[in-house]
Amino acid sequence: MKINILAIESSCDETSAAVISDGKILNNIIATQSVHEKYGGVVPELASRAHQLHLIPVIHEAIQSSGIDKSQLSAVAFTKGPGLMGSLLVGVSFAKSFAYALGIPLIEINHMQAHILAHFIDDPKPKFPFICLTVSGGHTQLVLVEDYLTMKVIGETMDDAVGEAFDKSAKLLGLPYPGGPLIDKYAKEGNPKAFAFPVSDMPGLNFSFSGIKTAVLYFLRDRLKEDPEFITKNLNDICASVQYTLIKMLMQKLKRAAKEYQINEIAIAGGVSANFGLRNELQLVADIERWNIYIPKFEYCTDNAAMIAMAAHFKYLNKEFSGLDVVPEARMKL
């Protein structure tokens, strides 16, 4: 009998559902929330309300387009955390109710673990052990991946995530939310060494990105005093310089981790792994360091249910099921 799993992702501002059958992703339905754009960031209460509106249609489409009847489902998986508590509650509540009604197991998934396991959706797939740089709006981690369900954080940010640094810098430049992709877009046409920003170097394999946000703030304040049109005239160069600095900080730690653990299987995951500049730099460094690198398709970089489904498949094989008393964890550790 086939293992068919319905997976639900609702950790932040993407409502997503996917169906996986014997380890093969059949679909990946995503409803994006545009309500946050005018606020310059995700508003938790609005996010949870949007999940309530989107969840049933998204799940209905995922099941219908999979060609699998709900009676053929083997389990229901959901994101337990980390994420916004209100958003997580919507997904967890539906998953528990649906699993109970069908009399099938419930599988809780760590959102960050799922980002890493997105690498096993398509070929080529990394070999164990490998190091994964997981970069998003809420997290920046270096993870030693020893097996599908055995992972260890070997480095992480001590303050802000790199995705937040991208978005906050974009906001200072007057760019709409989400600003990270826009910095990447304008950076393609700019000079990455036009302006110098400080590169922080925390001890060991940890990161710090709060300093560059402050540096960008003061840099723009001083330049705008001299020329009110400074941003407009130099937008591409500013974006390129900010992005160059952030990527440099990521890569210096990734190279250090690869050398320390003597591993040449290297992966990136999370929303920021969709960044063109990061992907390009990773390839350049890989050619020099002789790494085998793995980058998910764009649709599996940002929050999505396919990665939740992939993680659920491995947990199902390992018979790791949850009880109906499970609750979400906003600050869940890997």
**pLDDT per residue over 178-223, tens digit each?**
899 999 999 999 999 999 999 988 889 999 999 999 999 999 999 9
The pLDDT score that the predictor gives to residue 283 is 97
- For residue range 8-19, list pLDDT tens digits in order: 999 998 999 999
Domain that holds residue 106: 4-116+301-317
Does one domain contain both 61 and 136? no
**107 and 188 housed in the same domain:** no
> Peptide bond preceding 126: is omega within 30 degrees of 0, i.e. cis?
no
Same domain, 137 and 270: yes
Confidence of residue 32 (pLDDT cuts 50, 70, 90): confident
pLDDT for 38 beyond 90: no
pLDDT of 288 reads 97
State the pLDDT at residue 36. Answer: 66
> Residue 50's domain is classified under what CATH number?
3.30.420.40
Residue among 205, 207, 203, 201 nearest 260 (CA)? 205
Is residue 24 assigned to a domain? yes
Residues 13, 49 contacting (CB under 8 angstroms): no
Same domain flag for 38 and 136: no
| Predicted structure pTM score | 0.95
Same domain, 75 and 105: yes
The answer as to whether 140 is a domain residue is: yes
Q: Structure tokens of 29?
A: 């339905």
Q: What share of the chain is helix, strand, coil (3-state, %, to 5)?
A: 50, 20, 35
Instruction: Please check if 87 is assigned to a binding site.
Output: no
Whether pLDDT at 98 is above 80? yes
> How high is the pLDDT of residue 8?
98
Residue range 40-83, pLDDT digits in tens:
777 888 889 989 999 999 999 999 999 999 999 999 999 999 99
Q: Note the pLDDT of residue 47.
A: 85
329 in a domain, yes or no?
no
Q: Rounded mean pLDDT of the chain?
A: 95
pLDDT in tens, 150-184: 999 999 999 999 999 999 999 999 999 889 999 99
Q: How far apart are the C-alpha atoms of 78 and 76, rounded to whole Å?
A: 7
Q: By the 8 A CB rule, do 269 and 297 touch?
A: no
Say whether 302 counts as a known binding-site residue. no
135 is in an annotated binding site: yes
33 in the same domain as 146? no
Question: Would you say 153 is a known binding-site residue?
Answer: no
Q: Is residue 175 part of a domain?
A: yes
**Residue 90 annotated in ligand binding:** no
Least Cα distance to 44 among 88, 77, 81, 108 occurs for 88
35 and 78: one domain?
A: yes
For residue 123, the tally of other CB atoms under 10 A from its CB is: 7
98, 186: one domain: no
Q: What is the mean pLDDT of residues 92-105?
A: 98
Number of folded domains that form the chain: 2
The answer on whether 60 is annotated among ligand-binding residues is: no
Is residue 107 domain-shared with residue 196, that is, in the same domain? no
Q: Which residues pair with 142 in a beta bridge?
A: 133, 155
The reported pLDDT for the residue numbered 35 is: 65
Query: What's the chain's Rg over C-alpha atoms?
Result: 20
Strand partners, 25: 20
**Is 92 annotated in some ligand binding site?**
no
190 among annotated binding-site residues: no
79 and 173 both lie in a single domain: no
Residue by residue, DSSP assigns 56-93 as HHHHHHHHHHHT--GGG--EEEEEEESS-HHHHHHHHH
Full strand arrangement of the beta sheet holding 292-294: 150-156, 140-147, 130-135, 265-269, 292-294
115 in a labelled binding site: yes
> Is 180 part of any known ligand binding site?
yes
112 shares its domain with 154: no
Q: Give the pLDDT of residue 178.
A: 85
- Whether 145 is in a domain gets the answer yes
Residue 327 domain flag: no
- For residue 137, the Cα-to-chain-centroid distance in whole angstroms is 7
> Would 112 be classed as within a structural domain?
yes
| Judgement on whether residues 61 and 168 belong to the same structural domain of the protein | no
Q: Do residues 69 and 60 make contact, with C-beta atoms less than 8 angstroms apart?
A: no
**pLDDT per residue as tens digits for the range 258-278:** 999 999 999 999 999 999 999
Q: Which of 308, 316, 243 is nearest to 275 (CA)?
A: 243
Question: What percentage of the chain exceeds 90 in pLDDT?
Answer: 90
- Residue among 27, 26, 44 nearest 35 (CA): 44
Q: Identify the residue whose tokens are 């080529």.
A: 124
In a domain, 322, yes or no: no
DSSP state of 322: B
Q: What is the pLDDT of residues 275-304, one digit of tens each?
A: 999 999 999 999 999 999 999 999 999 999
Question: Is 184 annotated as contributing to ligand binding?
Answer: yes
Lowest mean pLDDT among 16-25, 26-35, 314-323: 26-35
- Report whether 136 belongs to an annotated binding site: yes
What distances in angstroms separate CA 54 from CA 57, 187, 286, one per listed residue?
6, 34, 40
Residue 260: the pLDDT is 98
